[in-house]
Structure 1
Amino acid sequence: MMEGFVSPNSTCTRACRTLVCFFAGVLTYQDNFEDAASEIAKRYPGAKIVSIFPYGTANGTSGSSLFRLLARQLTQVGYDLALDKSKRVTEAAQFIREDIACADNIILIGHSAGGVVAYRTGLYLEKEHGIQRAEVFAVGSPKFFLKDIPYNHRFTYITGQNPDRITQIGSWRRPGSKSYRGKPGREIQIEFNPTHQGWRFHASYFLRSVWTDANEQFHANSEDLISKISELMQGNRLS
């Protein structure tokens, strides 16, 4: 069941100039995006920040219940990878639609399978409601078949420097298809905390996760990620 929460880091609640929506993947907890939300608040003084959990949260789940939740969520992810429009996409669009009317900036940021839902939600809003200003960022997400459409110019795919099993799933182009031959407008790589490996790396994109590079420069995953997204947004406005 989809769940949505307004972040306490929001700097605006009504008639906001900026709407930022984080889309979660599987086995994600309610506070997963709050480090990143605090970075959004520093850069966008009039932002409503919403966390959307298309597959529900993992809060209060443990033991065998956690495995049952994962099995159910993975089945739903399979549908979202295969279908251009699912129940989760339409529900997410409905959840945020009333906040979009006043927003000059609409930023949809998805993690893992949430990146797929973020992309499809932005496209649904464009097709069904004529909203053509949403910028979409998929972080550590699986690849999925894309049509070659102008909307993709507002879609950025972000990965880290370490191999992430999830980003190795799928492809942008369907072999032999004349329709699904698209790709993201941008595919970029960001340096994240190198001490994380495997699934810990995949889970840490949006966490503060502080580290120091070879030049003794201080970094934090959430700060670097949101800084890059903000930079790309600024570049889009100038182009």
Structure 2
Amino acid sequence: MTAIKPSPISIYLLAGVATSNSIFNECKIKLEKLFQSDGIESAIHVVFPYGDASRSVVRQVLEVKSDLSNRMRAGRIGGQIALRKIKQTLTCDRMLLIGHSGGGAAAYQAAKMLHENGEINDFRIVQVGSPRNPIDPLLQDRVSYFHSVNSLGKLNDPISRIGTWGGWSRDRYAMPRWNSLKYAPGYVEGIPTVGGHADYFRHTKPYTDQEAVCNLDKTIDRVRVWLKGWV
């Protein structure tokens, strides 16, 4: 029997606030090799929903804030910009969005709008070191969240503490209680990286551990494991 060729994937790497233009250079190369080794055709695009490091940081932060809410009146500025960029280049029926920091919030908002408009159905979202924005329960299984942890497994990325996944639920006695994970992504995992919030995609010393494994390899490995079965 002839093996079924995997469907191609459009991949988008979304940057956060005050990000250098080179942040995803090595990540893009590794992803291209990864999908190529699995026999999957991929087209990888880099998106700056809030602009690059040359823009006002204050303005960028305010724009990220608009993407942390699911209220209809929220501006979702980064999400709207990402949506326009994606629609210009999306040519596949499958889409993978990987967003760092505020880019993770913009990635979710853009994908949610595309889905609601009936423009994409088969997609996955990866948030890396992102603020916490509430995820629609219908989309939770399509979203993963990775954050940095220290040697004790404790969260040590302050940006990952911003925002909330919480909401009110009722217990078996119909009493309201606060559920801190009600609107959390379907998969959440800590990564023992070296450095801080800006370093998930670093691939050279000093961003390597005692076994010479760099942050980028750790991040990509976790993403690959989560995507297993979809790609």
TM bin (shorter chain): 0.7 to 0.9
Structure-1 residue corresponding to 2:190: 189
RMSD, aligned CA: 2.4
Distance 1:102 1:170 in 2: 32
Consecutive aligned runs of 4 or more in structure 1 exceeding 6 Å deviation: none
Q: 1:33 touches 1:207 (CA, 8 Å); kept in 2?
A: no
Q: 1:42 aligns with which of 28, 33, 41?
A: 33
Distance 2:134 2:225 in 1: 27
Say whether residues 1:207 and 2:202 are aligned partners: yes
Distance 1:35 1:96 in 2: 21
Say whether residues 1:150 and 2:104 are aligned partners: no
- How far does residue 236 in structure 1 lie from its aligned partner after superposition? 3.6
Aligned residue pairs, count = 202
- How far does residue 125 in structure 1 lie from its aligned partner after superposition? 1.1
Structure-2 residue corresponding to 1:170: 163
Q: 2:100 touches 2:129 (CA, 8 Å); kept in 1?
A: yes
Q: 1:118 to 1:235 in 2, by over 3 A?
A: same
Give the structure with the higher percent helix: 1
Q: 1:73 aligns with which of 57, 60, 66?
A: 60
Structure-2 residue corresponding to 1:141: 130
Structure-1 residue corresponding to 2:149: 161
1:192-211, Cα deviation, whole Å (9 max, x unpaired): 12xx2xxxx10000121442
- How far does residue 228 in structure 1 lie from its aligned partner after superposition? 1.8
Structure-1 residue corresponding to 2:79: 89
Q: 1:205 to 1:25 in 2, by over 3 A?
A: same
What is the percent sequence identity of the aligned residues?
26
Distance 1:133 1:92 in 2: 18
Q: 1:23 touches 1:114 (CA, 8 Å); kept in 2?
A: yes
What stretches of structure 1 of length at least 5 have no aligned partner? 1-15
Q: 2:10 touches 2:92 (CA, 8 Å); kept in 1?
A: no
Distance 2:102 2:88 in 1: 24
Structure-1 residue corresponding to 2:173: none
Q: 1:27 aligns with which of 18, 34, 38?
A: 18
- How far does residue 83 in structure 1 lie from its aligned partner after superposition? 4.7
> Per the alignment, in what secondary structure is the counterpart of residue 167 of structure 1?
helix
Say whether residues 1:108 and 2:105 are aligned partners: no
Q: 2:47 aligns with which of 29, 52, 65?
A: 52
Q: 2:79 touches 2:105 (CA, 8 Å); kept in 1?
A: no
Distance 1:121 1:212 in 2: 35
Q: 1:155 to 1:107 in 2, by over 3 A?
A: same
Distance 2:81 2:149 in 1: 33
Q: 1:26 touches 1:74 (CA, 8 Å); kept in 2?
A: yes
Q: 2:16 touches 2:49 (CA, 8 Å); kept in 1?
A: yes
> Per the alignment, in what secondary structure is the counterpart of residue 232 of structure 1?
helix
